[in-house]
Structure 1
Amino acid sequence: MPELHSATQAPTPLQLNARDLEQELAWFSRVLDARIKSYFAQEESPKEIDLTPPDLGSSESPYASFARHYQLSFPERTAIILALTPHIRPRLLDIFFIKNKNFDRKFTEFGGIFGGPDGDFTPTGETLAFILAGDDLTIRFGLQGLFDGEHFFARHNILRLTPSGDEPAMKAPLRLSDETLSYFTTGEPRRPDFGANFPARFIETQLSWDDLVLQNGTRKQIEEIKTWVEHGQTLMEDWDMARKLRPGYRSLFYGPPGTGKTMTACLLGKSTGRDVYKVDLSLIVSKYIGETEKNLGKVFDQAQNKGWILFFDEADALFGKRSETKDSHDRYANQEVSFLLQRIETFDGIAILASNRRENLDDAFARRFESIIYFPIPRPEERLRLWQQGFSKQSQLDQALDLEKISHEHTLAGGSIMNVIRYASLEALKNERTMIASEDVLQGIRREYAKEGKSG
């Protein structure tokens, strides 16, 4: 078997996590063993349960960094490793399969859920309470604070009790989020999957700010968002402005389709090291009627405190001018909008909402933004830049192709120009040539006009 890494090669985050988690598992095994022995020996105050966790102060593993960042208490660290054990060392929990011989059933005090194809043991809140509290009600009651909505476990989407019905909360499974589980094992947080439970999709771009052609006024306003990213925390914390200002930053991007709104959001994320998630509100409203509040609430719960940029495309689909309330459906829709407005206002990250037309948005809603940025159709000189930098370096332009003339005669957004370039380039490849034909470009322009119901 090949070595995982040589003496001169630095260990990977995965390997560092594996090393530290071996220590954590050995410690947790001693804690569990001490509790079992203490409980069945009926000792009143089991001192051996207060075992000191491993010292990971000098470790560079993602797991150790997490433990230091949150300054995990003994109960918090125990909860984390208990929830992690079924994924990395499930046999440590086999002790909970022993039966209460007096009643020929499992020990109720162990908690846990038995199931799955192998009949595995899944720890619950009761399992954690047994390990840490035994029969001590004072300690047991105190543990419930770990699962309060204001605890960082919940606020940062790290660890939760996940009830499936009306059972008592402590009888619910104890689960790490997929993101946290991935971070503790591979060293990389897993991005949530797009779907009904998380109606937002991670978006990114391979392009740079040099590829984005905008008017100077628009670009200057975008710089204001970057300034918030760089100095917002200092403003709120060091300058003690958190008491006076709302958390986070909200911006409205508006303008015709294809003018760079989505690309700008992606570039803001790329240049500041933040993930960008796109929420298509028109899709959400049509696909999850009546559940908008619940599903988008999950997006905010996961994005909270992670520094994410949330990009709401076609915002006027949900935040447009409110119609008069005519029936219960209208009242419910307005309640959902009010809920989302509240979440956006208290979101501590960056929320960008995009709309094709500002006048479609409710005036009261528009006043809630820190900035409102217009993305106009590019002017002739900007369109020329888009044409000039859009084609592949592997291609050559037809001598008859006058890009300057085309830029002045055809008023197209950047997205439409790139559609034309795509069409003309594919036509060249189809005909086994590298030259971009003038007629193919003009045909591509006519196709774009046809989409808009224009002639050209």
Structure 2
Amino acid sequence: MGLPNIYSLETALNYLAEVVQWRMNSYFSDNRHPRVAMPNPPDEWLNADSLLTCFIHKYQLDSAAQLTLLIALAPHLQPDFFERLIVSQLPQPGDYPQIGGWRGKSYRGFLPTGETVLFITSGGQLSERLRLQEVFSQEHPFARDRVLYLEAPAEGEPLMSGKLVMTQDYIELLTQGHFSHPHFSMNFPAQLITTGMEWEDIVLNAQTLQQIRDLEGWITHGPTILHDWGMKKKLKLGYRALFYGPPGTGKTLTASLLGKYTGKDVYKVDLSMVVSKFIGETEKNLANLFARAESKDWILFFDEADALFGKRTNVRDAHDKYANQEVSYLLQRVENYDGLVILSSNFKSNIDDAFLRRFQSLIQFPIPSPKERLQLWQMAFPVQVKLAEDIDLTQLSASYDLTGSDIMNVVQYCCLQALQYRDTVIYQEDILNAIKREFSKSGKIM
């Protein structure tokens, strides 16, 4: 974190401290209507080139939203902030419901609630309270991008008594300058995937490659079309693509390369952790996943998506009913996600038609042609080995229908055999044995 950002955070906290002190003095004085106006934020803070000020300008936050943001952030920067400015200055011990606040289990200092925000920004005036509550509405950028929110209080208790929570992602963004990679868990059942390979390392037919280039173009230029060219109100946010074709034809690698070359994180969703036999759990798991990914510009990659995106069935029993509800819910979440969603399937026909109609790209990854297989064979072997004279890669390419993944498995087997022989030569017999092994996996006869 650079010095300008530290200075901006310190200046912002000092400004918030002035506002809190002003409110405490005015509220607990004999005269409830202060003659002195609320302090204005210092010009050097709002004009600074820092993470915090860039965030404020990006979302065009008004003064109330700025203060709400600082109130939520303050305990994470100065743990005793509100203890010093509010608790220690109360006229007498006791509860002050107009100020709100709560204490955590491990952290015993004062933490803000919605009432704390309204006390500082409105001073208890009813008209101002009602107006300022809009900062917690679902339409506000805070809720839309899951920056901060109020925890739902117990049933029957005032909404503003809920805890003010700033999500860990935005705490890290405003203090460290980036979102951290979420840990793989039940709350986020997806893993970051990366690759050391380049576009030159993947062999695709011309039509597939052109479609991938078009998809890469949307990732790069989509924001310009939506925001700078004013198409946001006419087009849905986000982009949806289906990669379909046999296993081993490059679908996962292509998703990884798209992320690598556009600077986007790619998360491969583990559907075994998403889909649950318990009613409502699948939707809950999906809600957690999409809520964490929202507004992060991540690429979500659903591999073997048939398990979750498959065709809806005729309702014969309660299980069918809830399975169809899961598909409908997923359709809604995918359609509303503001980033790129890629589904991967062996067969396009396995995916529900409702999804296909909403996809911008349907990209086929077919079994490589003999010419493409020859390229894969020529690129596959490491430079440390040489091929025996009787090996004809052109003949192997024409004779055996192998995917890129199959060929790499063959090469791995042959290299291991060579090392066991203490040799650097790859022999025809080893290649044929390895091909036979690959065929047996899929039930093919060589």
TM-score, normalised via structure 2 length: 0.90
2:188 equivalent among 166, 177, 198:
198
Matched, 1:68 2:61: no
- Could you report, residue by residue, the CA deviation over 1:202-257 in whole angstroms, capped at 9, with x for unpaired residues? 22222221111100011111222223234434444455444443333222111001
Task: Please give the per-residue CA displacement for 1:150-208, whole angstroms capped at 9, x wherever unaligned.
Answer: 11111112111223653543222212222111111222211333322223332222222
CA gap of 1:170–1:401, structure 2 versus 1, over 3 A, is: farther
Counterpart AA for 2:135: L
1:138 has 2:127 as partner: yes
Residue 175 of structure 1: SS of its match in structure 2?
strand
Query: 2:385, 2:166 → 1: CA distance?
Result: 51
User: Aligned ranges for residues 149-298 of structure 1 at < 5 Å?
Assistant: 149-163=138-152, 165-166=154-155, 167-237=157-227, 239-286=229-276, 290-298=280-288
Which residue of structure 2 lines up, in the alignment, with residue 84 of structure 1?
73
Answer yes or no: is the 8 Å Cα contact 2:312–2:327 preserved in 1: no
291-300 vs 399-408, greater mean Cα deviation? 399-408
In structure 2, how many angstroms separate the alpha carbons of the residues matched to 1:394 and 1:164?
A: 65
The residue number in structure 2 matching 1:109 is 98
Q: Name 1:51's counterpart in structure 2.
A: 39
Give 2:22's match in structure 1, choosing from 20, 34, 47: 34
State the Cα distance separating 1:131 from its structure 2 match.
Answer: 1.4
Q: Which consecutive residues of structure 2, in runs of 5 or more, have no partner in the other structure?
A: none
Check conservation: 1:155, 1:301, Cα contact below 8 A. Answer: no
2:5 to 17, 20, 31: 17
Deviations 1:380-409 (A, max 9, x none): 221222222233344444445443333222
CA contact (8 A) 1:282 1:314 kept: no
Report the equivalent of 2:440: 450
- Per-residue CA deviations over 1:103-124 (Å, capped at 9, x if unaligned) read x533222212113335232221
* SS of aligned partner of 1:108: coil
Q: Distance in 1 between matches of 2:222 and 2:346?
A: 28
User: What is the letter of the counterpart of residue 185 of structure 1?
Assistant: T
1:124 match: 113
Change in 2 beyond 3 A, CA 1:141/1:191 = farther
The structure-2 alpha-carbon separation of the partners of 1:398 and 1:123, relative to structure 1 and needing over 3 Å to count, comes to farther
2:238–2:337 contact (8 Å) kept in structure 1: yes
1:390·1:418 contact (CA, 8 Å) conserved in 2? Answer: yes
User: Cα offset for 1:325?
Assistant: 0.8
Deviation digits for residues 346-393 of structure 1 (CA, Å, limit 9, x no counterpart): 333222211101122233432222221110011122122222223334
Q: 1:42 to 1:394 in 2, by over 3 A?
A: farther
For the residue of structure 2 that corresponds to 1:105, the secondary structure is: coil
CA RMSD of aligned residues (A): 2.6
More displaced 10-residue stretch of structure 1: 371-380 or 404-413: 404-413
Matches within 5 A, 1:285-364: 285-286=275-276, 290-364=280-354
CA shift, 1:81, in A, is 1.7
Contact map agreement 2:12 2:45 (CA 8 A) in 1: no
- CA pair 48-181 structure 1, distance change in 2 beyond 3 A: farther
What is the distance in 1 between the residues matched to 2:216 and 2:95?
Answer: 57
SS at match of 2:40: coil
Question: What secondary structure, in the 3-state scheme, does the structure 1 residue paired with 2:359 have?
Answer: coil
CA deviations over 1:42-72 (Å, ceiling 9, x no partner): 4333355622223335533322321221232
Give distance in 1, aligned partners of 2:352 and 2:16.
55
Partner-residue secondary structure (3-state), 1:181: helix
Q: Percent identity over the alignment?
A: 46
**What pairs with 1:409-448 in structure 2 (closer than 5 Å)?**
409-429=399-419, 434-448=424-438
Give yes or no for contact 1:97–1:106 (8 Å, CA) kept in 2. no
| C-alpha distance in 2 between matches for 1:91 and 1:340 | 43
Instruction: Give, as a single letter, the amino acid of the residue that structure 1 aligns with 2:130.
Output: F
Work out the CA distance in 1 between the residues paired with 2:429 and 2:301: 38
Take 2:229 and 2:89, find their aligned partners in 1: how far apart are those partners? 59
Cα distance, 1:112–1:252 mapped onto 2, change above 3 Å: same
The 8 Å contact of residues 31 and 49 in structure 1, kept in 2 or not, is answered as: no
Residue 10 of structure 1 is matched in structure 2 by none
Aligned-pair CA distance for 1:287: 7.0
Distance verdict in 2 for CA 1:171–1:440, change over 3 Å: farther
Task: Give the SS at the match of 2:242.
Answer: strand
CA contact (8 A) 1:86 1:122 kept: yes
Q: 1:425 to 1:87 in 2, by over 3 A?
A: farther
| Separation in structure 2 between the aligned mates of residue 28 and residue 394 of structure 1, nearest angstrom | 64
**Greater mean deviation of Cα atoms: 46-55 or 154-163:** 46-55
Instruction: Give me the whole-angstrom Cα distance separating, in 1, the residues matched to 2:389 and 2:101.
Output: 75
Contact 2:299 2:341 in 1 (8 A): yes
Shift of the 244–438 alpha-carbon distance from structure 1 to 2, 3 Å rule, reads same
Assess, with a 3 A threshold, how the Cα gap between structure 1 residues 288 and 59 changes in structure 2: closer, same or farther: farther
Contact 1:256/1:376 (8 A) holds in 2: yes
Whole-angstrom distance in 2 between the partners of 1:432 and 1:83: 64
Cα offset for 1:36?
1.6
Q: Structure 1 residues 188, 241: closer, same or farther in 2, change over 3 A?
A: closer
